[in-house]
Amino acid sequence: MNSVARRQVALWLFICSAMVFSILVVGGVTRLTHSGLSIVEWKPIVGIIPPLNQAEWDETFEKYKKTPEYQKVNHRMGLDEFKGIFFWEYWHRVLGRLIGAAFLLPFIYFCWRRKIAPPLMPKLLGIFLLGGLQGAMGWYMVKSGLIDDPRVSQYRLTAHLSLAFLIFVSMMWLALGLLGERARSTSDAALRSLQRFAFWLAILVGYMVVSGGLVAGIRAGKAYNSFPLMNGHVLPPESFIIDPWYLNFFNNMALVQFDHRLGAWLLAFLVPWLWWKVRSAAVSGRARLAATLLLAALFVQIVLGISTLLLAVPVGLGAAHQGGAMVVLGVLLWLNHELRVPFAAGRGA
């Protein structure tokens, strides 16, 4: 696989990553505007065409009227208001199909031109399968809100969100590896320590994604809208009122939000520490730049998170906070990559 082909495949993966970023932001808006249950059917092919005339709109609206969300929450909604929530979910689904096409068609082209190295093939096929699983999980999530309780399962929502982040991470990591070969190991003990530190920070950000999914799933952001304490408490006394006790970690607004806050506090201390260690280590200029951008991205993300909480999750801030998580994770992936690219002190970057 020559250098030109590597750059072409990397660019393709970066574009797909950017599209995943966009669908996550649109998905956040879809969730926050309560639009996700407006389309009650899953038609992967013909579903790309929206209603085109009044009769089709009336038919689509009648299907929505049979759902628990309309009957219990939106029974006063008219057709014009329904169109508003319909199109957020519609564009969310269209973006999903476009991402599938943007991945599959260039993949076929690169295979035909023999531009993909054999070791890369199973990884790319794995990403494609994850994309298909993500689409199925999205519909599985929507179905949970079409029966009795007009809310999707927080478990399915968290799985849907986590799969999207996993696809984003997989594409980004492969693309970064194509632009610069990573060393399998290093004899520098200080550098190994930095690599482990950055890796575990990425795991912590992954935890934040999962806990954020649970916060969104049970709408815990609508409660305890104070900072730094939670209605005057570090840990609210009602944090373990559900029996059995372990269900509190998934169903209790107090404990779910506390867990998410705890992860944010850890990042607020650990990321500046990592930045300081990177600044004083024998690493490339790109690694130092990535560490600085990570620090800046985390600062913005924390400000967004606190603002979203204090204002009880307005749509714009909530979507920006979800997008900010991807920015933090993307920069952290870049830093992890740069810490593994062979670098000779004094060589420059």
> What per-residue confidence (pLDDT) applies to 188?
80
Same domain membership, residue 18 and residue 152: yes
Same domain membership, residue 209 and residue 174: no
Question: For a pLDDT cut of 90, what percent of the chain falls above it?
Answer: 80
Question: For a pLDDT cut of 70, what percent of the chain falls above it?
Answer: 97
**If pLDDT is split at 50, 70 and 90, which confidence band does 339 have?**
very high
Same domain membership, residue 270 and residue 227: yes
pTM for the model? 0.92
Work out whether the CA dihedral 270, 271, 276, 279 comes out positive or negative.
positive
> What per-residue confidence (pLDDT) applies to 345?
46
**Tell me, what amino acid is at 283?**
V
Region 132-147: mean pLDDT is 90
Residue 207 has pLDDT above 60, yes or no: yes
> What per-residue confidence (pLDDT) applies to 159?
95
Q: Which of 162, 180, 198 is the last residue of a domain?
A: 180
Question: What single string gives the DSSP state of each residue in 279-335?
Answer: HTSS--HHHHHHHHHHHHHHHHHHHHHHHHHHTT--HHHHHHHHHHHHHHHHHHHHH
Same domain membership, residue 252 and residue 174: no
Q: Which of 152, 180, 208 is the last residue of a domain?
A: 180
Question: 52: buried, middle or exposed (CB in 10 Å: 19+, 13-18, 0-12)?
Answer: exposed
**If pLDDT is split at 50, 70 and 90, which confidence band does 334 have?**
very high
Same domain membership, residue 52 and residue 172: yes
> What per-residue confidence (pLDDT) applies to 181?
78
Region 140-159: mean pLDDT is 90
110, two tokens: 């690169």
Whole-angstrom Cα distance, residue 61 to residue 188? 64
Same domain membership, residue 138 and residue 41: yes
> What per-residue confidence (pLDDT) applies to 43?
81
229, two tokens: 């304490």
Structural domain containing residue 287 = 188-349
Determine phi and psi for 23, rounding to 5 degrees: -70, -30
Q: Into how many domains does the chain fold?
A: 2
Residue 150 has pLDDT above 80, yes or no: yes
Whole-angstrom Cα distance, residue 108 to residue 125? 11
**Tell me, what amino acid is at 138?**
G
Residue 340 has pLDDT above 70, yes or no: yes
Whole-angstrom Cα distance, residue 53 to residue 41? 19
Same domain membership, residue 263 and residue 169: no
Same domain membership, residue 66 and residue 176: yes
Same domain membership, residue 209 and residue 132: no
Same domain membership, residue 205 and residue 162: no
Same domain membership, residue 88 and residue 43: yes
Whole-angstrom Cα distance, residue 283 to residue 343? 7
Same domain membership, residue 271 and residue 221: yes
**If pLDDT is split at 50, 70 and 90, which confidence band does 344 have?**
low
What mean pLDDT value characterizes the chain? Answer: 92
Region 170-178: mean pLDDT is 95
Residue with tokens 């009880």: 312
Q: Which of 133, 163, 180 is the last residue of a domain?
A: 180
Q: Which long-range contacts (CB under 8 A, 24 or more apart) does 80-86 make?
A: 82/38, 83/57, 84/33, 84/35, 85/33, 85/34, 85/35, 85/38, 86/35, 86/38, 86/39, 86/50, 86/60
